[in-house]
Structure 1
Amino acid sequence: QEHLAGIYTSDELPGTLHDMAFDYRGDKMLGEAIVNEAQKIGLRCEGANYQGMALHYPTLNLMHYLNPQQEHRVVSVGVCQTASHERNLELGLAIGRAIQQTDRRVVILAAGGLSHRFWSYDDMAAHSSPDPAHVSSETNRAYDEKIIDLLKRGEHASVIKLVPDFRATCSPEGFFAHYSMLAGALGGEACRARAAQYGEYENAIGTGQAMLWFPL
């Protein structure tokens, strides 16, 4: 879409995210280039150029903080809930190829957490601290910290090989598709970009969260 505007209230956490007005320029050309590249490699990919198409907090929360003047164009890419890690890598490859074909300077924001298992309603209040000791299991925390360490060393090939097991064991947010697509766009197993970590690894009511930046 060429124009993304509306008022957003989260249906998951309305008390936290509500009445958020947004108004961004889209980038239909880049979106169409991504769809074309994805279809070339056999992926079923559609550009959703529809009025009333909802945006959600992975896009809008990041844009609220990183694009406060609403000066940068925005393309929101959804996660297919039934896609494998391999298909997500391929979509990332298509995104990377599409970017290379344009004159755009593009920042890819892979919005999503690490392990993603919440505490139960009865236990949640006791585990609201951001201290990672409150992540929902020792196994989840260990996987999260291993992945963060590998990414800080630029070992994307090792993380890419680990993702299927991570998905099966730790229920990562969005099946970790945000990372798979990012890794594909940055060259897959050939990528050596070392992550710079901002802030600490933290708990969010059982889930593992970290902010990593990959300078190229």
Structure 2
Amino acid sequence: MNPEFWQSRWGEGRIGFHKSEVNPLLLKYFTALQLKKGSRVLVPLSGKSIDMAWLAQQGYEVVGIELVESAVQAFFAEQNISPTIHQHADNPAVKYYQGQLAEQTITLWVSDIFALTAEDIGNVDAVYDRAALIALLEDMRLRYSEQIRKMSGHAPQLLITLNYDQSKKDGPPFSVNSDQVQQYYGNHYQITELENEASTLNTNAALSVTEHVWLLNAANDSSELS
């Protein structure tokens, strides 16, 4: 992770990745995770996404991980939540904010995602990745996918990616094609494509992009679940 890059983006308000409405693909496909009410959903590189508020309002607990503290503070302020702040027991550079929305607990860690463990974040029943994998450089993605797998205990994932001609635009968000999704997750998950839809990215010139929605379920072969 590059803390300076993301601190700069948030500090300068260059957060075009933040959406003011709940992601329609989350609304459409969240039930594919088949979660019981009260289940706990991990949102990596969460920013101040209002998708987290929606999840809480549907009856799910949320744990997010975000590198930039001001984004975490903004989420709670915009949701009119007064959080409590806790320091990590062993790492004073890491903290988490915790509050309640619709009687559900939302816990947002301020940390590099690679600095946390499954023991830190607690039980995870599912992962919602709208903007994390595609925010990372290619040489970080396999490590990231392994980190999420270990942190979540192979929990099912709803993953959203973009595919476009990377030579025509610098990321983030970065293009991730289906072969790369297979490379990052195929050894440990059954991968199902739920949807792909063509659209455009707002750049200096309209750029054709396909948005993909993937459902990742732990592979049946127990030898792969290590």
Greater relative contact order structure (CA < 8 Å, 6+ sep): 1
Higher share in helix: 1
Highest CA radius of gyration, 1 or 2? 1
Q: TM class, shorter-chain normalised?
A: 0.3 to 0.5
More strand by share: 2
Q: Could you state the TM-score of these two structures normalised by the residue count of structure 1?
A: 0.35
